[in-house]
Structure 1
Amino acid sequence: MPATVILQEGREKSLKRHHPWVFDGAVANVKGRCRSGDTVDVVAADGSWLGRGAYSPASQIRVRIWTFDQQEVIDNAFFLRRIEQAWQLRQRLMQQANTNACRLIAAESDGLPGVTIDLYNNLAVLQLLSAGADKHRSKIVWALQKLLPDVAIFERSDVDVRSKEGLEPLIQPLHGDIPDEVEIVEHGVKILVNPHTGHKTGFYLDQRENRLAASRYADQASVLNCFSYTGTFACYALNGGASHVTNVDVSQPALDMASRHIELNGFAPERCSQVKGDVFEVLRNYHNQQQQFDMVILDPPKFVDSKASLKRACRGYKDINMYGIHAVKPGGILLTFSCSGLMEQSLFQKIVADAALDAGRRVQILEHLSQAPDHPVGLNYPEGYYLKGLVCVVL
């Protein structure tokens, strides 16, 4: 029998709405012995059963719920059911996007808290971010092998959030031969993914449809692609008919990969320039030189990693958007993003509006953008919505 986590009186409401987290302050008592990652039953103060999840004594999120079905057992078959259900959806979405890559498992939103699995052609990259996910590694790998027997499996559990669960970073091959690079394709654009050193699990799959949105506004445009990483927004823009793209990034290896992507996709090298430098400084220099572009793309890294850093992050977002707006020709397009889950859509839009005021420009929103459909958001798990973007015309 699993141990039982008993909640404080009145703290069961979120679980009754099937939100998958139990915070430490909601716990009144733990009945029975349980170690980190063990499966526990969660009950209300009156003893009524609420859910079954993974216990994490080191985390503020004390329990992550695996299931709200009292009859469901957390075994090999459980993980196979969850991953198979997710795979059925992803196959349809991959056909729509003409891609051989997807986020196969999006953690809580796919009913597997702390589990992220990205599929790059014939390679699955696994991230286990919670004590429960780490505890069931062998079951998850077994289910993947059962469902996708020809796919190699590599673990990239090297993110800081594991420390909040009392876990060390871990990078390891789990099944099959792990390549140095994988070539994927999406919407006709070829992309090289490095699962060993690439950002996240190797690439930003969540921006797929937003890259396509950029291509729709790119015809004959001069494009400034800020925080360009490996230049895939640039490839989409060139595919959409851009006359020239300038990639700006602080990382020379990322810019080198961007140049490889230009060559891989058959674009003339003179249609794309690589600028190594701090984006804030580069944009300030463009402003001082009165240099402008038909389209500016702002896809910065996460500025917000805690509520304490939100105020400072707002200043950063405002500054980068102000200089980004300065860099857009009258009538041109701004694509701007925030990947910070703690940055709410309404606040992000207000920041961009304040940046437009400071830049002395009138700006209209044409489209609201979000993460690709293979990064679904559970209706009872709003924290799964993290990527927000705007397509704007700058007048």
Structure 2
Amino acid sequence: MRQAIVTLKKGEGRLLKSGGAWIFDNEIDSIMGEFENGDIVIVHDFDGYGMGRGFINMNSKIRIRMMTRKQDQEIDHAFLEMRVRDAWEYRKKTVDTSSCRVIFGEADFLPGLVIDKFSDVLVVESLALGIDRMKEEIVDILKAVLSEDGITIRGVYERSDAKVRQNEGMERVKGFIGEEFDTKVEIVENGVRYMVDVKDGQKTGFFLDQKYNRLAIQRLCKDAEVLDCFTHTGSFALNAGIAGAKHVTGVDASELGIEQARENARLNGLEDRVEFVCADVFDLLPKLEEEGKQYDVVILDPPAFTKSRKTIKNATKGYREINMRGMKLVKPGGYLATCSCSHFMDYELFTKTIHQAAQNVHKRVRQVEYRTQAPDHPILWSAEESYYLKFYVFQIVDEK
């Protein structure tokens, strides 16, 4: 049996020692023994102290992703079952599990793996070579664990088509794991019905991380005129509609997203009050401002403007501009909900950028609340990449 021991350089492994799961290529002093990419290796500190076990990939700058801090822990079926059970038990205590993220990578100590549950369908995203070898076994374990709670999974679809797989020397793949099935799935969240397209929708088909943020805007939207920017498949717009908004306009640049949003509006009987427009938000908002449009609630839920540190400067400009435009369209005394889903746009920078936007357009803002991602996307304090969603609600104050 192949077994390799990886020894860190003296003074390296700071992320690992603070509770993180990654060891980078430049932190390794030596590798003794035989291994293939994707194998589990034993990790030692420079002085031989055992740091645990993880899987190695020489193609990736993240050279090792840790699976356990225990050096004598076998990464076997029993270990994977323990991880899956822990993840599911946590969800049962913290979220509505009818549709939720069941496995969230490093934050659930299964690095590189995401599994979302949409009603009776699972969607799998595998982003690292070592976990890719284990994904089907983990899926089988999860189906067995769910069945103990009377949940039958009718199908599993893989959406491992993200570009980052190429950093691991892996091809981008999507398709069925097991039997084929109808990939359009109806779910209910916060009382709103959606058709989720797990095959062709963005990411795994639907953004579950905003579940309770969508619920939080409901109370602001009763009898309101609402503008929902970057609506995707209409989730914030439909929460506003079901809460009793007078009228909602949802905007997105994707024709497919807008068609799905209209279908979702019909599904909820809201097509008379919730309309959707296919347009570039950056182009549309100045036009609405020129027309003198004003809304009681404006919602900004843009895609990540940056996925690396290199482009953070341009991303900051984008967030500042969109928030300036959004604030101008809010009636005095109305509300702005604004968020960023980019991990690299951290809390401090996002907060500073909104503050600058308010100053630039001479708006006084009063913070209603600050929120992050739903608890089924847990934030592991030692894994900063797990904290990515920032969500603010402000009132645009009209001093009388």
TM-score range, shorter chain: over 0.9
Counterpart of 1:292 in structure 2 is 294
Q: Does residue 327 of structure 1 match 2:325?
A: no
**Structure 1 unpaired stretches of 5+:** none
Inter-partner Cα distance in structure 1 for 2:54 and 2:383: 15
Counterparts in 2 of 1:123-142, with a 5 A limit? Answer: 123-142=121-140
> Residue type of the partner of 1:344?
D
- The runs of at least 4 aligned residues of structure 1 exceeding 6 Å deviation read none
Shift of 1:177: 3.8
1:16-38: CA deviation from partner (whole Å, max 9, x where unpaired): 33211101111111111222211
Once residues 320 and 132 of structure 1 are traced to their aligned partners in structure 2, the CA distance between those partners, rounded to angstroms, is 40
Is 1:236 the counterpart of 2:234 in the alignment? no
Q: Percent identity?
A: 41
The answer for the alignment partner of 1:168 in structure 2 is 171
1:32 aligns with 2:33: yes
Separation (CA, whole Å) in 2 of partners of 1:141 and 1:250 = 34
Aligned partner letter, 1:33: E
Q: Distance in 1 between matches of 2:253 and 2:342?
A: 20
Distance change in 2, residues 1:243/1:392 (3 Å): same
**What is the count of residue pairs matched by the alignment?**
391
- Partner secondary structure for residue 116 of structure 1: strand
Shift of 1:325: 0.7
1:346 to 348, 354, 373: 348
Query: Counterparts of 1:1-16 in structure 2 under 5 Å?
Result: 2-16=3-17
Residue 340 of structure 1 aligns to a residue whose secondary structure is coil
Secondary structure at the residue paired with 1:10? coil
CA distance in 1, matches of 2:58, 2:346: 29
| Partners of 2:298 and 2:335 within 8 A in 1 | yes
Aligned-partner SS, 1:5: strand
Tell me the residue number matched to 1:360: 362
Change (3 A) 1:36 1:239: same
State whether structure 2 residue 219 is matched by structure 1 residue 216.
Answer: yes
Shift of 1:189: 1.2
Residue 195 of structure 2 corresponds to residue 195 of structure 1: no
Which amino acid is the alignment partner of residue 118 of structure 1?
D
Instruction: Give the letter for the 2:4 counterpart.
Output: A
Given that 1:298 and 1:335 are in contact with CA atoms closer than 8 Å, whether structure 2 keeps it comes out as yes
What is the DSSP-based 3-state SS (H/G/I as helix, E as strand, rest coil) of the residue aligned with 2:336? strand
Q: Is the 8 A contact 2:238 2:274 kept in 1?
A: no
Measure, in 2, the Cα distance between the counterparts of 1:31 and 1:15.
20
- Check the 8 A contact 2:55/2:130 in 1, yes or no: yes
Look up the match of 2:62: 61
Question: Alignment partner for residue 267 of structure 2, among 264, 267, 271?
Answer: 264
8 Å contact kept, 1:295–1:334: yes
Indicate the residue corresponding to 2:100 in structure 1.
102
Deviation at 1:141, TM superposition (A): 2.6
Any conservation in 2 of the 1:15–1:51 contact (CA below 8 Å)? no
The TM-score with structure 2 as length reference comes to 0.95
What's the offset of the Cα at 1:255? 1.1
Query: Contact 1:100 / 1:121 at 8 angstroms: preserved in 2?
Result: yes
Residue 374 (structure 1) shift = 0.6
Aligned to 2:42, what secondary structure does the other structure show?
A: strand
The aligned counterpart of 1:120 is 118
Please give the root-mean-square deviation of Cα atoms over the aligned residues, in Å.
1.3
How many Å apart are 1:380 and its aligned residue? 1.9
The residue number in structure 1 matching 2:157 is 154
Gapped regions of structure 2 (runs ≥ 5): none
TM-score norm. by structure 1 comes to 0.96
Q: Secondary structure at the match of 2:272?
A: helix
- CA offsets per residue over residues 188-237 of structure 1, 9 Å max, x none? 11111100011110100000001001112111110000000110111111
Residue 385 of structure 1 is matched in structure 2 by 387
Contact 1:38/1:135, CA 8 A, preserved across alignment: no
Q: 1:47: how far off?
A: 0.8
Letter in 2 for 1:197: D
**Shift in Å at residue 333 of structure 1?**
0.4
Pair 1:17 & 2:18 matched: yes
